[in-house]
């Protein structure tokens, strides 16, 4: 069994221990799913995820938990290209990738409008505390209790 399969099985086991699961998990991209700012990269560079990220995404998919992207990237074309290159773009029911000064509130509101999922049924992962603090005021659960690390 490879490392990805082990991580996926461990994630499935952890998810299985909880009865009240989120309907939708929202992920930031830069320094949350991958360890870089995509605006510092060329579109033709080969992107990569944090080591366990892919297995966790596929564990969520296996449990029929929807996923979305909320990114304030100033280079949405590069971010979308990286998701495509990594073969994970189709895992996300919606991708809100645009530059904004709203610390993700506009992204989350668009995700809510698109999916119809109540804020209280969402779980949010982001590496920036300012984004977390603003969206939890909407009623979203914070997936990053302390420091988020794959």
Active site members: 28, 30
CA atoms within 13 A on the CB side of 11: 20
CA-based diameter of the chain, in Å?
A: 44
**Of all helices (H) and strands (E), which one includes residue 59?**
helix 53-62
Structure letter (DSSP) for residue 30 = B
Q: Please state the φ and ψ torsions of residue 91, each to the nearest 5 degrees.
A: -75, -20
3-state secondary structure of 106: helix
**Pairing relation of β-strands 66-71 and 24-27?**
parallel
Q: Is residue 3 within 8 Å of 56, Cβ to Cβ?
A: no
């Amino acid at each position: 069994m490879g490392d990805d399969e082990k991580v996926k099985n461990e994630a499935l086991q952890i998810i299985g221990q909880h009865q009240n699961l989120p309907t939708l998990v929202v992920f930031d991209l830069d320094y949350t799913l991958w360890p870089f700012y995509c605006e510092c990269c060329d579109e033709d560079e080969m992107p990569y995820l944090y080591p366990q990220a892919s297995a966790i995404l596929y564990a969520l998919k296996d449990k029929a938990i929807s996923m979305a992207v909320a990114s304030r990237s100033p280079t949405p074309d590069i971010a979308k290209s990286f998701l495509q290159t990594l073969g994970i773009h189709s895992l996300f029911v919606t991708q809100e990738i645009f530059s904004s000064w709203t610390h993700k509130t506009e992204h989350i509101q668009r995700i809510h409008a698109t999916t119809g999922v109540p804020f209280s049924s969402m779980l949010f992962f982001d590496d920036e505390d300012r984004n977390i603090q603003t969206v939890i005021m909407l009623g979203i659960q914070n997936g990053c209790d302390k420091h988020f690390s794959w």
